[in-house]
Homo-oligomer: A and B are copies of this chain.
Amino acid sequence: MKRIPIGIPGFDELIQGGIPVGANVLIMGSPMTGKTTMAMQFIYKGLTVGDAGIFISTNETAESVKDKMISFGWDTTPYEREGIMKYVDCYGMMVDSKLSDTPSIKRIPSLLAFTSMSVVLSDLCSQFWKLEKTIRIAFDSVSSLLMYANPEAVIRFLHVLLGRFKMVRAVSMLILEEGMHEKTVETTLQQLSDGTFRLAMKGKERTLTCLGLIATRCLNREVPIEITERGIAIKE
């Protein structure tokens, strides 16, 4: 079974080399535990090994995501030129309706525009599929969708969207805020996923845990991590 390294040295080894191709995983954690950083690192790692990347943002513009990645030294510009990195910006046009698409940024008019999101993502996926690329997708975050639509609608949307990702063997990371949603919503999202990772912070101690991952002996152990200027790293 082909596996995709997340790009956290030391941690990928603990999950038998990475996430199996075709799987979707949930990244859970409280605010400021590093969920977005982990998603960016995962996308950038992919670009460096020849995978295609899609970053879907719902809380900030694509430009702001890109700036944050650069601050970690992860400049996606060359990969955008190469045509293998795309941003899907679901936030910008709500804040500034004059924003428009660029070659590497697709804008969705509103977080409620599920159909539009679906079409754009399906198109990007089939484009990359034709290039025979392994596709990495980050969705930051599902929690924002749940601010705009009721849980039932969001879950049905993801139920189908994740099926489409699976058809092109994409590996996707969905970010979910902990404590913001009903327990049954969290459980249902976990049931839709092929695995779950949790980021946590107690005082100054940060940890990353694999709570379960398809086809993987996942030790369910809290691994101490730190967030350095080069991203998430396992702490010795």
Given known contacts A180-B187, A191-B180, A147 and B143 CB-to-CB distance under 8 angstroms:
no
If over half of A's interface residues share one DSSP class (helix, strand or loop), that class is named, otherwise mixed; here it is helix
- Nearest CB on B from A189, distance (A): 10
**CB atoms of B147 and A155 under 8 A apart:** yes
A70 near B: Cβ within 8 Å?
no
Pick from A166, A179, A181 the residue with the most CB of B within 10 Å.
A179
Q: Kindly state the separation between the CA atoms of A61 and B182 in the bound complex, as whole angstroms.
A: 29
> What 1/0 flags go to A167-186 for Cβ under 8 Å of B?
10000000001011110100
Q: Kindly state the separation between the CA atoms of A148 and B188 in the bound complex, as whole angstroms.
A: 12
Residues of chain A having any CB pair with chain B under 8 Å: 31-32, 59-61, 91, 94-96, 143-144, 147-148, 152, 155-156, 159-160, 163-164, 166-167, 177, 179-182, 184, 187-188, 190-191, 193, 203, 212, 214, 220
